[in-house]
Amino acid sequence: MKIKFSDNFLFGTATAAHQIEGDNKWNDWWYYEQVGKLPYKSGKACNHWELYRDDIELMAELGYNAYRFSIEWSRIFPEEGKFNEEAFNRYREIIELLLEKGITPSVTLHHFTSPLWFMRKGGFAKEENLKYWEQYVDKAADLLKGVKLVATFNEPMVYVMMGYLTAYWPPFWGDAEKAFTVEANILRAHRIAHELLSGKFEVGIVKSLPLIRPLSPASAEVAREVDNLQNWYFLDAVFSGELKTPFGTVRTGEGDADFIGVNYYTLHLIGNVDPVEGLYRYDFGGYGRTQMGWKICPEGIYAVLKEASRYERPIYVTENGIATLNDAERIDFIARHLYHVARALRDGVDVRGYFYWSLMDNYEWDKGFEPKFGLVEVGANFRRIPRESARFYGTVTRERRLELNHGEEPTP
């Protein structure tokens, strides 16, 4: 069967500063990498900080018309009140090069990493620290000229869960009640950034939205609450200003989002546990097929896109991808997910773009360089080697259509 996408649909790839740039020495992740609290060091990562011109050239050659990346707060403000003009100018150059090549930039302001000095003051756990965030956002307003899409935060709930609830990631907290305080402050930070930047840019939020379902009918109610806690209460609060948490409702202030970014990878099946526990205790349906152990569930993207359309805002699939050593599997993954994105479009969901994670293999946080998410392999001396999937995706983006050989997918 054939699928057709409109001419203005964005087809891009996604990356994040700490995962590709290299030498991001001023943030909390780098610090914990050095002191041995994290199993892998990002080091030079993909050396994108030096090879950015080649990378943009490559994207253009491959035919992608959009690119999502993040700017690193700690490069722009390595110390409290100290502005780094060189970093600012480098990001400017990246944006200008993208625009020159006709690639629509989509920029994330916070993608998991924060300046070490900010974290030493308590980071997002303290509401009074939002003044530092405001200074950064203010600078970003100058930096981002010409950019269309600006996302304030990447996956706020993943950030909160990994760093403050399970304590697998910096800053290794492990305190459920405080985790929800951090979530509330991130909502406030989003509101501040939206107020400062909206009008000049389309300012949205990027949310991880796994498909969350009960392991058996007996856990239907728990699964619904986990789904709300992980996927929807945050988004509800962006608009309503009231954040529901297991510890009561917190007033964060009414705000807005000009678009919703959906990061979709997999399905979480929830058993009979406490809903807060359900945030990090789940099952991938008996088998994990990717290098991350994540189940491949293409029809889930249709379900979450439909559910996210309740906010009546444009939606971008800001991340979708697979870590695999088998590139044919990547091609199949992309085709199947795009099929379900097309179904959502056909059913009236306002999806305006799709960004594959990731342009190239990179530093996958606490998993290091092992998982291969890239359309492009990074070889010795950082050589970029496009895989077959990079060409396949390029053909899709140029022709704006796709043929599926395996017929209809099941409907969730």
Residue 309: how many CB atoms within 10 A of its CB?
A: 18
Of residues 284-323, which lie at the interface with ligand FCB (CB under 6 A)?
319
Question: For residue 353, what are its two tokens?
Answer: 């773009």
Q: What residues have CB less than 8 Å from 117, skipping those under 6 apart?
A: 26, 79, 80
Q: Is 70 in the site for ligand FCB (CB under 6 A)?
A: no
* Segment lying near ligand FCB (by CB under 6 A), choices 1-9, 150-158, 346-354, 400-408: 150-158
Q: Is 364 in the site for ligand FCB (CB under 6 A)?
A: yes
| Angstrom distance (rounded) from CA 139 to CA 107 | 14
Comparing CB distances to ligand FCB, the nearer of 202 and 319 is 319
Q: Is 113 in the site for ligand FCB (CB under 6 A)?
A: no
What's the closest the beta carbon of residue 13 comes to ligand FCB, in angstroms? 12
Q: Is 365 in the site for ligand FCB (CB under 6 A)?
A: yes
Q: Which of 55, 72, 155, 361 binds ligand FCB (CB under 6 A)?
A: 155
What's the closest the beta carbon of residue 16 comes to ligand FCB, in angstroms? 5
Q: Is 363 in the site for ligand FCB (CB under 6 A)?
A: no
| Phi, psi angles (nearest 5°) of residue 207 | -120, 130
| Angstrom distance (rounded) from CA 85 to CA 65 | 28
Q: Is 55 in the site for ligand FCB (CB under 6 A)?
A: no
Comparing CB distances to ligand FCB, the nearer of 33 and 319 is 319
User: Which residue has 């892998």 as its token pair?
Assistant: 40
Alpha-carbon separation of residue 357 from 85, 262, 265 (angstroms): 29, 12, 10
Q: Which of 65, 129, 154, 245 binds ligand FCB (CB under 6 A)?
A: 154
Comparing CB distances to ligand FCB, the nearer of 156 and 214 is 156
What's the closest the beta carbon of residue 206 comes to ligand FCB, in angstroms? 8
Comparing CB distances to ligand FCB, the nearer of 207 and 384 is 207
Closest chain position to ligand FCB (CB) = 16
Q: Give SS3 for 208.
A: strand
| Angstrom distance (rounded) from CA 142 to CA 144 | 6
| Angstrom distance (rounded) from CA 121 to CA 130 | 11
Comparing CB distances to ligand FCB, the nearer of 338 and 359 is 359
Q: Which of 16, 38, 179, 262 binds ligand FCB (CB under 6 A)?
A: 16
Question: For residue 344, what are its two tokens?
Answer: 């959502």
Q: Is 72 in the site for ligand FCB (CB under 6 A)?
A: no
What angle (nearest 5°) sits at the alpha carbon of residue 272, between those of residues 247 and 251?
A: 20
Comparing CB distances to ligand FCB, the nearer of 195 and 366 is 366
Helix (H) or strand (E) holding 189: helix 176-197
C-alpha distance across the termini of the chain, in Å: 19
Q: Is 158 in the site for ligand FCB (CB under 6 A)?
A: yes
* Segment lying near ligand FCB (by CB under 6 A), choices 152-160, 170-178, 228-236, 324-332: 152-160
What's the closest the beta carbon of residue 142 comes to ligand FCB, in angstroms? 26
Binding residues for ligand FCB, total number by CB under 6 A: 12
Cis peptide before 171 (omega within 30 of 0): yes
User: Which residue has 């009236």 as its token pair?
Assistant: 348
Alpha-carbon separation of residue 44 from 19, 25, 66 (angstroms): 9, 10, 25
* Segment lying near ligand FCB (by CB under 6 A), choices 132-140, 153-161, 308-316, 391-399: 153-161
Question: For residue 229, what are its two tokens?
Answer: 């806690």
Question: For residue 68, what are its two tokens?
Answer: 């999502």
What's the closest the beta carbon of residue 158 comes to ligand FCB, in angstroms? 5
CA 57 to chain centre: 23
Comparing CB distances to ligand FCB, the nearer of 208 and 219 is 208
Comparing CB distances to ligand FCB, the nearer of 207 and 313 is 207
What's the closest the beta carbon of residue 294 comes to ligand FCB, in angstroms? 9
Q: What residues have CB less than 8 Å from 163, skipping those under 6 apart?
A: 169, 170, 171, 172, 173, 182
| Angstrom distance (rounded) from CA 299 to CA 409 | 7
The residues carrying an active-site annotation are 155, 319
Half-sphere exposure in the Cβ direction for 367 (13 Å, CA): 11
Q: Is 357 in the site for ligand FCB (CB under 6 A)?
A: yes
Q: Which residues of the shown chain bind ligand FCB in the complex (CB under 6 A)? A: 16, 19, 154-155, 158, 208, 263, 319, 357, 364-365, 373
